[in-house]
Chain A
Amino acid sequence: MNERIKKLREQTLNAVPRLSHERAELLTKFYKSGKADRVSLPVARALAFRHLLENKELCINDGELIIGERGPEPKSTPTYPELCVHSIKDLEILDSRPKVWFKVKEETKSVYENEIIPFWEGRSIRDKIFNEVDEEWKDCYAAGIFTEFMEQRAPGHTVLDDKIYKKGMLDFINDIKHSIVNLDFYNDPKAFEKREELRAMEICADALISFANRYSNKLSELAQLEKDKQRKDELETLAGICKRVPANAPRTFWEALQYYWFVHLGVITELNTWDSFNPGRLDQHLYPFYKRDIESGLLKEEGAKELLQSFWVKFNNQPAPPKIGVTAAESGTYTDFCLINVGGVTPDGEDATNELTYLILDVIEEMRLLQPSSMVQVSKKNPDRLLKRTMKIIKTGFGQPSIFNTDAIIQEMLRHGKSLYDARCGGASGCVETGAFGKEAYILTGYFNLVKVLEITLNNGFDPRTQNQIGIKTGEPNSFSTFNELMSAYEKQLNHFIKIKIKGNVIIERIYADYMPAPFMSILIDDCIKNGIDYNAGGARYNTSYIQGVGLGSITDSLTSIKYNVFDRKIITMDKLLGTLKNNFGDDKELQNKFLFETPKYGNDDDYADEITKQVFEIYFNAVDGRPNTKGGYFRINLLPTTSHVYFGSVTGATPDGRQAYEPLSEGISPVQGADIHGPTSVIKSASKIDHLRTGGTLLNQKFTPQLLETEEEIEKAVKLIRTYFKLDGHHIQFNVVTANVLREAQKHPEKHRDLIVRVAGYSDYFVDLSEALQNEIIRRTEHSML
């Protein structure tokens, strides 16, 4: 790492996350001006976008090679009052909460009090959502049956393909104009709506060009003042680049990176999309530029690396927008889930790795930043070198990159009806979510608490915590004479709650479709331009709505415990079990230990437990998969938690697996923390008994001690371990390589371990930034060690 990058890295690490009112203020001014009232809704959104880009403060940091910030300075993070208006109290909480805080200036509070809140209160999407959903939805939300992604953040969940490397914004404007000309007002009753949408897209494309021009002019000014010759040259070059892109297709490696960055800023300025957007298959998109520039002598490997490193810093400068309430609890992190993909296969299905793949891996290892996240796609066609290189980075213990099975991802997409070509160009984003990059809106809609549903079932539809009959009456559990009767009651309850969730989703989908178009995003995702339909209204080629199941390990072990202890071995009666759970085990440590240590558990390749995993999987799959959404696509499942397993645990009473009330649930498809006592092959066998290919992503976390990866041979064996998981159709695996002792030490002395990054669930985070509950949970996850 050279001096420049060291400095930039220091800058981003030391930048203080702040809440910036710039965007909120500009947006409010625009809407107050009355301009929005004179035009159609999409055009109004586009004009608002233009207003933001024309007026926001520009920021060029010392020494950087890729320029542009979302806020006025690094980590200065905007708000999106059109979606969610923060109250003064929210701002105070954000400012003072111990984890994932954002400093809020007095000025910001006063702007909020005088301008933002009075204007947006009652008008925000969040207000609309809570007005429109049913009472039963609200009851379930309050009980912690599910969460809702879109109550504070916009649908996003998409990733760019290679289109911007072939077309400039001017080319997109041509495409848009072409679509407008081809509208058939005689036969298409939606022609006018489409024209408005397309006009909005055109305004947005043009706005991004103007934004880059503003930067270009500013760079030229700075260049004139600059004394240092090298920097002066750089600023002049950058000024030229910003004139060239995004208006036109890029010609060089540098232009390609800068172009992407403008697009990225556009997406995250337009809305605060969940999973902030990302370039996707970076080694594939950039390779032609890299190769050409290296061959022509324009670029050297070191130069390419420096540009990539500067690019990396830009991601780290953009924390996830501030979240509050349940949404903060389900995703308590600064990470905004830009998951850069490398490796995988080409559109022809061949090994896609190239020199740039390995150069990017070097960058990941050296930068060791929270953002962007990174992952490696591994197909059976990729060489072991890719996995070995990856394991060597993972071994350094910062939880990146995660590892994905390209062959499984492709099959998942084919099952969802995508073309083979589109599937091969896709990958995974966010934590583990499968998607056709550049062609799909694949929206995560909320986490679903698989364990809470059992608690409700065991209480005949009643939630003990909120004292509310939120479920249906499926019978008193002591009336069940077989385990199957319990399973069928669980299935009925689960279907009941999924129906409520899906009804809510449909309402929320339409609220976004009707009130919150995203014309800029729509330029980027096929076939919105061709269809003349917004990204949020079903314009994309593929439209998927995911509901993410949480707690597969905990629900399996809880049901297994009932089957084993109540029905098969008759160690206790159902009434005794219910009494014990109600008392949170009370003094009955002996019984709790029986549940914890003397009952079969998921994660040990034990069919007794794993058969129940499969049953739960099928129940959940059947409840969700294949139901239509409102955008011409379907509901699908995936199994990942972010930090919701901690939140869901905090609303769920004691469970029959021996878990104390309000403790975290298991995460992803990983076993309950500490329940897997037969090593990683057994975990992998258990985890591969569910059918990953019928999901849109599963998350398996493994904790390894550094000793397991000490020698070259041990790394090779770990590579084979992963290869086997993927042969068994596993979707994803990630490793935390750190000892529990180090983590305990960091918990005691956070000040000494501020740089300790750990894998949480589908992403990495600073250990000291995690809630204490989550820290404990990570420590408890099985440490697969060997004597």
Chain B
Amino acid sequence: MKGFIFDIKKYSINDGPGIRTTVFFKGCPLKCWWCHNPESQRKLPEEFEDCTFRWHLSHDYENKHRIGSEVTSDQVLTEIKKDIPFYEESNGGATFSGGEPMLQINFLNELLTLCKTNNITTAIDTTGYTDYKNFKLTYNQTDLFLYDLKLMDDNLHIKYTGVSNKIIHENLKRITNTGDKVILRIPIIPSINDTEKNLDEMIKFIRSLKNIREINLLPYHKSANSKYGKMKKENKLPELEPPSKDKMNQLKDFFASTGIKVKVGG
């Protein structure tokens, strides 16, 4: 089976436990203003000046001004398998991220099955914006969900991400009722979702959930700014500064009051 990805990152140490390989799926239903992977949003390969990612193992050097490739699950598996010694040593594995991996559910499911067959643990990094049946399909095939929680107010959620948060929150409730495979990931976007109101609602919501394994707070960073330029895409937050270390530590304490383990960074 084939799917669209735009990167495979080795020694990924902020996307789940241990040393991991992260496969970035192309295509996302959300268009977050702060998106640090703007190249993930469209499903099909697109123009990108000086693309640093090279699907080098097929030695395809022709498409250097495009980002995204259509690849087979075997090609991806071959890449993932290369770092098995590292996963085994560190209790790591593969993370499927994006974009939204659930958008290519069949491709995702095949990769999960292939990893499982090869004794590689997996994680799915998801926006949660998908039909619940996709969670059902993947739940037993994977070991972990890195589940994003962004904004509690639905109007703001629609404004900043392009979609409603209803289905995201509903799916989160259901999946955490099923078992303890969820790590919540909260991006901290100064002035957008670190308002008192949003934080209070968030913690209230989190307290209502069962089985949250861990909360990761991901500080906004500006590393994507140059990508917007290379893609000729509009960056809606060109001036936004990352939150300070102190601020992140405060937030860490704030969320720790739920009794759940909190970490700054993935």
Contacts and interface: CB of A to CB of B under 8 A. Distances in A.
Interface string A776-787: 000000001011
Given A605-B82, A721-B86, A724-B85, A784 B11 contact: yes
Contact of B52 (A594, A677, A685, A720): A677
A604 interface: yes
B11 A679 contact: yes
A705 B221 CA distance: 17
Interface string B246-266: 000000000000000001110
Contacts of B61: 594, 597-598
B185 interface: no
A681 B11 contact: yes
Given A711-B265, A724-B90, A680 B83 contact: no
Contacts of A679: 9-11
A786 B14 contact: yes
Q: In the complex, which of the residues B9, B10, B64, B82 has the most CB atoms of chain A within 10 Å of its own CB atom?
A: B10
A600 interface: yes
Which of B59, B221, B263: most chain A Cβ within 10 A? B59
Contacts of B265: 711
A677 B59 contact: no
A679 B19 CA distance: 12
B197 interface: no
A723 interface: yes
B89 A608 contact: no
A383 to B, nearest CB: 15
The DSSP consensus for interface residues of chain B is loop
Contacts of B264: 711
A677 B86 contact: no
B9 A720 contact: no
Contacts of B10: 678-682
Contacts of A608: 59
Contacts of A605: 82
B54 A677 contact: yes
A784 B85 CA distance: 20
A109 interface: no
B57 interface: yes
Contact of B13 (A678, A714, A727): A714
Given A681-B11, A711-B265, A720 B89 contact: yes
B39 to A, nearest CB: 12
Contact of A600 (B36, B59, B92): B59
A600 B19 contact: no
Interface string A381-425: 000000000000000000000000000000000000000000000
Contacts of A597: 61, 64
Contacts of B221: 787
A366 interface: no
B31 to A, nearest CB: 20
A728 interface: yes
B29 interface: no
A35 interface: no
A606 B14 contact: no
B85 to A, nearest CB: 5
B243 interface: no
B223 interface: yes
B18 interface: yes
A724 B19 CA distance: 11
A679 B10 CA distance: 6
A720 B18 contact: yes
A597 B223 CA distance: 23
B82 A685 contact: yes
Contacts of A708: 13
Contact of A720 (B54, B90, B263): B90
A717 interface: yes
Contacts of A784: 11
A727 B13 CA distance: 20
B56 interface: yes
Given A677-B52, A681-B11, A685-B83, A717 B18 contact: yes
A677 B263 CA distance: 29
A720 B56 contact: no
Interface in B75-131: 82-83, 85-86, 89-90, 92
A676 to B, nearest CB: 11
Contacts of A681: 10-11, 19, 82-83, 86
Nearest to B53: A677
A682 B263 CA distance: 28
Interface in A673-713: 677-682, 685, 708, 711, 713
B83 A787 contact: no
A711 B18 CA distance: 13
A28 B59 CA distance: 65
Contacts of B13: 708, 713-714, 717, 786
Contact of B86 (A564, A594, A724): A724
Given A604-B56, A679-B10, A787-B221, 10 more contacts: A682-B82, A685-B83, A708-B13, A713-B263, A721-B11, A721-B86, A724-B19, A727-B85, A786-B14, A787-B223
11 contacts: A598-B64, A606-B56, A677-B52, A677-B56, A682-B10, A708-B13, A717-B13, A721-B19, A724-B85, A724-B89, A727-B89
Counting from the closest, the 7 A-B pairs by CB-CB distance are A720-B90, A598-B61, A679-B11, A679-B10, A787-B223, A724-B89, A717-B13
